[in-house]
Amino acid sequence: MTTPALPTTEALRDRALDSLRRVGVTPDQGDDFPARTPITGEDLFGLAAATEAETEEALEAARRAFLTWRSTPAPRRGELVRRLGELLRDHKSDLADLITIEAGKIRSEALGEVQEMIDICDFAVGLSRQLYGRTIASERPGHRLAETWHPLGVVGVISAFNFPAAVWSWNTAVALACGDTVVWKPSELTPLISLACDRLLAQAAEDTGAPRDVHRLLLGDRAIGERLVDDPRVALVSATGSTRMGREVGPRVAARFGRSLLELGGNNAAVVAPSADLDLAVQGIVFAAAGTAGQRCTTLRRLIVHRDIADTLVDRLTAAYRKLPIGDPFDEGTLVGPLISTQALETMRGALDRARAEGGTLLVGGERRLADTAPRAGYAEPAIVRVDAQTPVVREETFAPILYVLTYDTLEEAIALHNDVPQGLSSSIFTRDQQEAEYFLSAEGSDCGIANVNIGTSGAEIGGAFGGEKETGGGRESGSDAWRAYMRPATNTINYSSSLALAQNVSFL
């Protein structure tokens, strides 16, 4: 198979600047850190990071904007999010271009990420009329007990490179509808898509008469993230990234009694039972394990297959892996784009070496690609490794396309293996046996925040709450009632009688 040539860094730079221009951004070029593309692994141009004074000014502006935004009626707040959704629709192609250029996603996945932003805006517009509290039966005559949900304050959003725009929109669309203001510290690897999103939100604010400072963007490295973590004006720190980052952020926010919402690493598995539809399983597994070059938090990393079908399934998977087109993510035919960096490629190779040293057998993939044409980029063949046990490397998240295959004899054994990792994000079972499927979804089954049947671990819809347990951090974002994390509940006791009855029949005076 011949690989089409990669675009040049100059062509990618022009394409990024054109997309930015159409969105209304002229980037402040500087020399603090580079905007770069994993397609060639080269820098596009330099950017300026937010200074300490700018960071302080943004936090104060967001705090002040909250004072008016919190008392703007929620359906009117929804108007801002509706307008943002319209602008995202208008600029879908430009935004997808920026995601491909900075994160290396193939075109259809980059468009999918923008669609996810549009979807959460639609969701949040509806939510702006549904911030329901409950009325509770009071134990006292002539009393009413109620629960009211109020806006929380400034939300600090810290995001990862691999969903550079969708994670921001999950947080921001919901936070804005809930009456919060947002200060965003995106990944230092994806500044351009952040500039574009910030610009479109500023435009939406202008168009709807909302305060400009309901949203502020701070470009820069983790030091700016740490500033948000420690600042008492930030009521909620919503941080998405590695477990290492969450381990640092969680205790620091807790030390000042702030709230945190952590969306951290996963080590997701699928169980494949003997009754599974193997055609469907192969498709689901290949997308979940090799899609996005293995760089989704929900990427399938462990396959737990019944012994009777393991050889057949593994043969079909290795055949599918050999045909995966790897290369330029802008090329229509490509299914696997680059890893984010050559460092990520080294991490992948290191994990494969460790897997072999721990007794695993590499069945397919693992080789570097396009090293001659793009020596600074990290293109890799997705790999499958057969292992006999869940060794230390299998229990870690390596953010690259490596699928470890284990076998099982009983479903109880499969679930024990499944749950025996520190992370708890996404999981699935392929089976046509309803008892097995229900057992997997039950309290004795998967211990993850996401549990699926006959579909892979990745590619969640925005309507459900997204997040996971254990070292994945416990946070929930996006749909369902995840909005509650962005508000504070107040319990109200209203006495409409003319006597003062005390709770629990306490008598006094």
| Active site members | 263
> Looking at beta carbons only, is 149 or 483 nearer to ligand NAD?
483
Given candidates 69, 123, 330, 399, which one binds ligand NAD under the rule CB under 6 A? Answer: 399
**Which phi and psi angles does 167 have, rounded to 5°?**
-65, -40
Given candidates 18, 31, 221, 308, which one binds ligand NAD under the rule CB under 6 A? Answer: 221
According to the binding rule CB under 6 A, does residue 472 interact with ligand NAD? yes
According to the binding rule CB under 6 A, does residue 161 interact with ligand NAD? yes
Looking at residues 245 to 274 of the shown chain, list those that interact with ligand NAD (rule: CB under 6 A): 245, 248-249, 263-266
Q: How far is the CB of 297 from ligand NAD (least distance, A)?
A: 3
According to the binding rule CB under 6 A, does residue 163 interact with ligand NAD? yes
What's the burial of 496, exposed, middle or buried (CB within 10 Å: 0-12/13-18/19+)?
exposed
According to the binding rule CB under 6 A, does residue 240 interact with ligand NAD? yes
Parallel, antiparallel, or unpaired: how do β-strands 42-47 and 29-37 relate?
A: antiparallel
According to the binding rule CB under 6 A, does residue 25 interact with ligand NAD? no
Q: What is the dihedral of CA 417, 421, 425, 427, to 10 degrees?
A: -10
Given candidates 195, 197, 297, 305, which one binds ligand NAD under the rule CB under 6 A? Answer: 297
Parallel, antiparallel, or unpaired: how do β-strands 465-466 and 29-37 relate?
A: unpaired
Q: How far is the CB of 217 from ligand NAD (least distance, A)?
A: 12
> Looking at beta carbons only, is 36 or 83 nearer to ligand NAD?
36
Q: How far is the CB of 339 from ligand NAD (least distance, A)?
A: 11
* Beta carbons of 266 and 468 less than 8 angstroms apart: yes
Category of 376 on φ-ψ map: left (φ > 0), alpha (ψ -120 to 50) or beta: alpha
**With contacts defined by CB under 6 A, how many residues of the chain interact with ligand NAD?**
30
Category of 241 on φ-ψ map: left (φ > 0), alpha (ψ -120 to 50) or beta: left
* Beta carbons of 390 and 269 less than 8 angstroms apart: no
Given candidates 95, 124, 160, 293, which one binds ligand NAD under the rule CB under 6 A? Answer: 160
Q: How far is the CB of 172 from ligand NAD (least distance, A)?
A: 15
Residue 308 CB neighbours (<10 A): 11
> Looking at beta carbons only, is 260 or 390 nearer to ligand NAD?
260
Q: How far is the CB of 481 from ligand NAD (least distance, A)?
A: 17
Distance between CA atoms of residues 21 and 97, nearest Å: 13
**Which phi and psi angles does 19 have, rounded to 5°?**
-60, -45
Distance between CA atoms of residues 320 and 393, nearest Å: 24
Chain contacts with ligand NAD (rule: CB under 6 A): 158-163, 167, 185, 187-188, 221-222, 225-226, 229, 240-242, 245, 248-249, 263-266, 297, 397, 399, 425, 472
